Amino acid sequence: MEETIAAVATPMGEGGIGVIRVSGAEAERILLRVFRPAQRLAPRRFSYGRVIDPESGETVDEAMAVFLPAPWTYTREDVAEIQCHGSAVALGKTLELVLRSGARLAEPGEFTKRAFLNGRLDLSQAESVMDLISARTERGYSMALGQLEGKLSGEVRALRERLLELLAHLAVSLDFPEEDVEELSRAKTAEILQSVRAELSGLLATADTGRILREGLKVAIVGRPNVGKSSLLNALLREKRAIVTEIPGTTRDTIEESLDLGGIPLLLTDTAGIRQTEDRIERLGIEKSREAAEDADLVFFLIDAAEPLREEDRAIAEAVRGKRCFLLLNKSDLPQAVAEEEAAALLPGAELLRISAEKKEGLQALEERIRALVYAGALQSGSRPLVNNARHKALLAAAAEELDAALALLSAGEALDLLEMNVRAAWERLGEITGETAAEEIIEEVFRRFCLGK
């Protein structure tokens, strides 16, 4: 029998209440041992009472508690929840009593893991629980909610079913190797392979959007001193909601800020901290720009359009070449000294926008360009769910590769039975997304990243 587990499910700190969750066959017995309800405890009814030390009889806290019998609980096991006062002392003492009464401290993610093992959630749904908890924007939250509701799982299951059908078809065609049956089989096989492959491409096309909505779009602001990098950062921060994060700046020389741009978390790195006068430090500035750009999904390359271009502008352009860049011609409120063609030649292929960080002009257009960029993949993919998880993306790509291999065998005129291995591998990779064919280590790995009490 599984052990009964317990943990504090709310953050440790000062709160109105704090919740201790207990899950497993012993939940009710343990609850009754540490909690004295004022009236008889009824299932699914909150009861008022006292948490007491069963050995000394001492009162530890005033609390509310509920017992939820299996299977209609988060873990599908018997669950007890005790709502203490939200102090670390009350929670710590109560948890200790629960543990002394026979529960074991839950590992991070263990409640959700049990929900998965007991079939309440599939693996991708379980993963979305963590995303729900850590979502930083409403868009990220609703994406996680969609995944919890099984949008991605549903799509993946449908694709697996078609591959299974194909596997059955391949098995049958082996038994009837006549010419005309074979021809029909090849046509049908090609059709299924291609359509599943196309669905996978569609899902994969959403992966960048999904990742960005979840983790944020990393933007590096680069440009020589005094072009207006700090002014732009400040203008954006004043206009938009700043996101409070715990991501520390990578170096003393750069400032990192997060803001919510219409649901897109923007993680901005400004290299303005570098003050350059000497040649050596100038080179450092260019080096820093290169480093910041390397890490970024998008580079804002600022130039001061009110002054002729300088050698330094060209050096920084060189440093960020090859990255996706927005070339921002700042100080559009002043008389212009840089022609657009001249600026465009600096960074061929970059999107060019005129802005004034000071007057907050052009920021709306900038925002629209960012949005278009982030949603590009997802828009092509119609109403498909967004893939927002690196693990899912890798598995979808691996499945797509197997199908490509199968298609190559087919068009090379190979016998149908040779395709079976690739098709089965694709079916298995997709099953790892939902956890149906995932190995124990993968499942362990997924839940290891959870927080305590979830």
CA–CA dist 386, 151 (Å, integer): 9
Pick the binder of ligand GDP from 226, 276, 336, 437 (CB under 6 A).
226
CA–CA dist 140, 208 (Å, integer): 13
Q: Does 334 bind ligand GDP (CB under 6 A)?
A: yes
Q: Residue 128 or 330: which CB sits closer to ligand GDP?
A: 330
Q: Does 356 bind ligand GDP (CB under 6 A)?
A: yes
CA–CA dist 397, 204 (Å, integer): 7
Number of residues that bind ligand GDP (CB under 6 A): 16
Q: Does 288 bind ligand GDP (CB under 6 A)?
A: no
Q: Residue 163 or 227: which CB sits closer to ligand GDP?
A: 227
Q: How far is CA 450 from CA 259, 394, 440, in A?
A: 25, 20, 16
β-partners of residue 329 are 303, 354
β-partners of residue 241 are 260
| Selected range binding ligand GDP among 12-20, 284-292, 328-336, 376-384, rule: CB under 6 A | 328-336
Q: Which two three-digit tokens encode residue 161?
A: 């079913």
Q: Residue 24 or 228: which CB sits closer to ligand GDP?
A: 228
Q: How far is the CB of 269 from ligand GDP (least distance, A)?
A: 13
Q: Residue 168 or 242: which CB sits closer to ligand GDP?
A: 242
Number of Cβ atoms within 10 Å of the Cβ of 29: 15
**In 3D, which of 192, 171, 162 has the Cα closest to residue 410?**
192
Q: Does 328 bind ligand GDP (CB under 6 A)?
A: no
Characterize 297-332 residue by residue with b for buried, 16 or more Cβ atoms within 10 angstroms of its Cβ, and e for exposed.
Answer: bbbbbbbbbbeebeebbebbbebbbebebbbbbbbb
In the chain, the amino acid numbered 191 is: E
| Selected range binding ligand GDP among 13-21, 151-159, 220-228, 238-246, rule: CB under 6 A | 220-228
Q: Residue 226 or 251: which CB sits closer to ligand GDP?
A: 226
Instruction: Annotate each residue in 237-276 with x if it binds ligand GDP (CB under 6 A) or - if it does not, as one string.
Output: -----------------------------------x----
Burial level of 262, CB count in 10 A (0-12/13-18/19+)?
A: middle
Q: Does 230 bind ligand GDP (CB under 6 A)?
A: yes
Q: Residue 216 or 228: which CB sits closer to ligand GDP?
A: 228
Positions in the binding site for ligand GDP (CB under 6 A): 223, 225-231, 272, 330-331, 333-334, 356-358
